[in-house]
Structures are given as structure tokens and as C-alpha cells.
Amino acid sequence: MKKTVVKFFQILAVFSLLFLAACSGSAIDSSSSSGNKEEEGDSKDPVKLGFILSLTGNFASMGTPVKEGIELFFEENPEIDGRKVELIFEDDAGDPQAALRKYEQLTLNQGVNIVGGGTVGSIALALRDKVDADKKVPLINVVGSTDVMSWEKKSDYVWRTSFSAWQYASISGKFTAEGVGKNAVIIASDYVAGHEIVTDFIPSFEEGGGKVSDIVWAPLGTSDFSSYLTQIDKANPEAVFMFIPGADGSRFIQQYQSFGLQDKYTLVEGGSLLNAPFNIKAVGNAVVGGKMITNYFPELENEVNEKFVKAYQAKFNKIPDNYVVNGYDTGKLISQVVKEAGSLDGEKLVSVLKKGVTIDSPRGPIEMDPVTHTLIQNMYVIEGKEMNGEITFELIKTYENIEMPKENVGYKKY
């Protein structure tokens, strides 16, 4: 036994030496050298951008469009202030542990200057903790919507180009009370993000005079909603507010139609689920009559958007959704910040962000709020229409410049 083991170790040693020869540098004395490079701040250093997105797995449908948006922007703008842009995309497959590993790879191995990512809430939070602990490179959060990242878990190094739960849900509540009806049933996915949306929805809905008659919690991965649909039917509300992200949500809307609820109660959707072109294709005319609250939709009329939609269609032969815009704006934000900072040093980049940055986005003018680290942006209410067999959206109301509260508003938790 001993002989085999010893022999085995000899072989192992050979193998590992071969392998290690390929990886230059040593862990023990390189800690000091890695810091130097950035401080010299040669203005013509290329910009290395690392993105950790969910490109496979359950959330591939969110990660992939973000990637497309980023690619589109940097294809249009291959250089920032004379610096070459180097894009590195890593896949986390929807797993925060993988995302953390990729973060180390990007920072330790590739030496990226800015990290983008966070396709899912858990990944955004995991990366946020790590980036905040390291305080080396800024993180641009592309999708994660949890409110605490603007409040208790705010970090100088973490900024988001997406939206917050509060922005969506409070506008949804306001609109439902103003424009749909005072009696609503809520159906939401039974996990942290769902509870957060409901927590933010109810106060603004009640402020408008609304009353929630029932809250239905559907577990993640619910495939059959019929029990819940009968429950909603029993409550007989004027409006049904839903927050069910991903495949579950598409299923829900379909079953909502097939059980005949579509014609009875107005559906208000607060998860930016339906304006994604692919989702519409999947659920078909089930969205007709439904109201959706979103920060972007492709039919939006402004100059930047028209150019953007055209360019995206030319490159990918699809209609963009708001994940693409998140990616596109992430690129725009990074480019602007690097230009203003004139350096790739993390601290300088952050100080530019803290002064406040305004960018022209396809979703209209947006401003990075230096206090909440979340965009101040318009919220649009749109309604699904069917015209000649095509599903389109019509803008029915705009809420302008929605700003996160500066501190936790302390709503009652649901």
C-alpha cells in the first residue's frame, strides 16, 4: 500500500509541477505587486471590464440579453477616452457560489478594473458583500432589485443600473389605486424578492385609498396555479397585482387566461415580465388588457431609443427588452465614469459616481443617485393590445423621475 501511495505521489508531484509551471508567479510574494499597476494610472491603459452573468441555467433568459446590451454598446463605442476596451464575460449559471469564484478569477487573474453582474438577487448580494469587503473594483449591478442595496447594504463600490423593488412596487400600488380599482388581490412568489415587492406595494396602494382583500403566496417553481386562481376568483377583486418572475410568471398569465380570469379582473404586473418579447411570444394574447409597470419598453418614443432599437435589431434580429437596456446603460455608465475619472483606479471611479452621473438612456434621461446608488428614472405604465394578430404595448401613463427614498422607509413587512 505504501509503495503505491508513494509512487502515486511522485506522479502527482510531476503533474502538479507541470501544471504550476504554467501558472507563473507565487502567492506569497505577489500580493504587493498587484497593487502597483493601477496606481501608476497611465491614461492609455486599456480598460478591462469583467461581467459575471447567468448565461446558462434557470436564469439564462435574463443574463443573455444583458450581455447583448453590453456587447452592443461597446461595439458602437470600442474605445473610452482613447483606451481600448476589453470585455470578459463569465457565466455563473445562476449560482452565487460560482459567481464568487468567477469574481476572484476576474480580479486576481485577469485584473479587471470594473465588475458588472448580479443577474439574480442572491448573486447581486453575494457579489456586493465581496466587493464591499475588498474595496478594490466597483461593481455595477445589472438586474438585482433588492431595496437594501440602496439603504442598509449600500456600498461605495456598488451601483445599480437596473431598478429597485421600491421603484416598481410603489408605482404599481399608486397606479393600481388611481387607474384600476380600490379592491385588489395580490399574488406573489413566496421568496424574499416577492415579499419585498408586496411590502412596498401595499403602503402606496393603501395611500391611494386601495384595500388588499387577499394575498396569495405561490412557491417558486409552481407549475400549476389553478388552486390559486380559484382562490382569486373567490375574492372577486377589481385588480389582481402579480409579482411572479421567470417561467412561473408566464405560466401564471397563461393559466389566468385559460381559467377565464383575464376578462373578469384587470391584471397589474409589476415584475417587468411581459415586456420581454420572448415572454409575449410564449403567452400570446393572454397579456391583452393587462397593465404593466416598467422602466422600459421597446415602443418608447425618444431619439436614443429609436437608434438603439434599430441597432439592436440589426445585430441580433430581435426586439430588445429591458434587460438589454440594463446592459446597454451599464456600458454607457461605465464609459462615462471612466472618461470623467481619467483613471482606472477604483477609488477615483467611485468618487466620480458619488458626484452623480447623468446619462442619455433609451429609457429616457436617467441619473445615478449618489445617495441611494440607484437610478432616478421614469416608470411607465403600459397596456397589452392586440393588433392584426401582433401583440404591442401602448403607453397609458408615465411617472417621471422616480427616486428611491434616501433611507429605509420602514414599511410593515409581509
308-337 positions binding another protein, by CB under 8 A: none
Exactly one of 37, 211, 234, 307 binds another protein (CB under 8 A); that residue is 234
Q: Are 296 and 275 in contact (CB under 8 A)?
A: yes
CB closer to another protein out of 122 and 336: 122
CB closer to another protein out of 231 and 351: 231
Under the binding rule (CB under 8 A), the answer on residue 11 touching another protein is: yes
Nearest distance, CB of residue 349 and another protein, angstroms: 22
Give the bridge partners for 86, in sequence order.
Answer: 48
Under the binding rule (CB under 8 A), the answer on residue 378 touching another protein is: no
- Strand 139-141 versus strand 83-91 pairing type: unpaired
Exactly one of 38, 49, 52, 59 binds another protein (CB under 8 A); that residue is 59
Site for another protein in 121-140 (CB under 8 A): 121-122, 125-126, 129-130, 133
| HEC sequence for the chain | CHHHHHHHHHHHHHHHHHHHHHCCCCCCCCCCHHHHHHHHCCCCCCEEEEEEECCCCCCHHHHHHHHHHHHHHHHHCCEECCEEEEEEEEECCCCHHHHHHHHHHHHHHHCCCEEEECCCHHHHHHHHHHHHHHCCCCEEECCCCCHHHCCCCCCCCEEECCCCHHHHHHHHHHHHHHHHCCEEEEEEECCHHHHHHHHHHHHHHHHCCCEEEEEEEECCCCCCCHHHHHHHHHHCCCEEEEECCHHHHHHHHHHHHHCCCCCCCEEEECCCCCCCHHHHHHHHHHHECCEEEECCCCCCCCHHHHHHHHHHHHHHCCCCCHHHHHHHHHHHHHHHHHHHHCCCCHHHHHHHHHHCEEEEECCEEEEECCCCCCEEEEEEEEEEEEECCEEEEEEEEEEEEECCCCCCCCCCCC
Nearest distance, CB of residue 266 and another protein, angstroms: 18
Q: Cα–Cα distance between 331 and 360 in angstroms, integer? A: 12
Site for another protein in 268-287 (CB under 8 A): 276, 278-279, 281-284
Under the binding rule (CB under 8 A), the answer on residue 100 touching another protein is: yes
**Other Cβ atoms closer than 10 A to 84:** 12
Which string of x and - marks every residue 194-213 that binds another protein (by CB under 8 A)? -x------------------
CB closer to another protein out of 91 and 269: 91
Nearest distance, CB of residue 243 and another protein, angstroms: 14
Under the binding rule (CB under 8 A), the answer on residue 147 touching another protein is: no
Exactly one of 49, 69, 139, 146 binds another protein (CB under 8 A); that residue is 146
Under the binding rule (CB under 8 A), the answer on residue 27 touching another protein is: yes
Under the binding rule (CB under 8 A), the answer on residue 141 touching another protein is: no
CA 390 vs. chain centroid, Å, equals 27
Under the binding rule (CB under 8 A), the answer on residue 401 touching another protein is: no
Nearest distance, CB of residue 38 and another protein, angstroms: 15
Exactly one of 203, 213, 247, 392 binds another protein (CB under 8 A); that residue is 247
Which span (68-76, 154-162, 217-225, 295-303) binds another protein, by CB under 8 A?
A: 217-225
Which span (119-127, 307-315, 374-382, 386-394) binds another protein, by CB under 8 A?
A: 119-127
Under the binding rule (CB under 8 A), the answer on residue 28 touching another protein is: yes
Sign of the C-alpha dihedral computed for residues 292, 294, 296 and 302 taken in this order: positive
Site for another protein in 60-99 (CB under 8 A): 60-61, 63-64, 90-91, 93-97
Which span (13-21, 39-47, 159-167, 332-340) binds another protein, by CB under 8 A?
A: 13-21
Under the binding rule (CB under 8 A), the answer on residue 260 touching another protein is: yes
Number of residues that bind another protein (CB under 8 A): 93
Nearest distance, CB of residue 193 and another protein, angstroms: 7
Nearest distance, CB of residue 378 and another protein, angstroms: 26
Which span (230-238, 360-368, 374-382, 393-401) binds another protein, by CB under 8 A?
A: 230-238
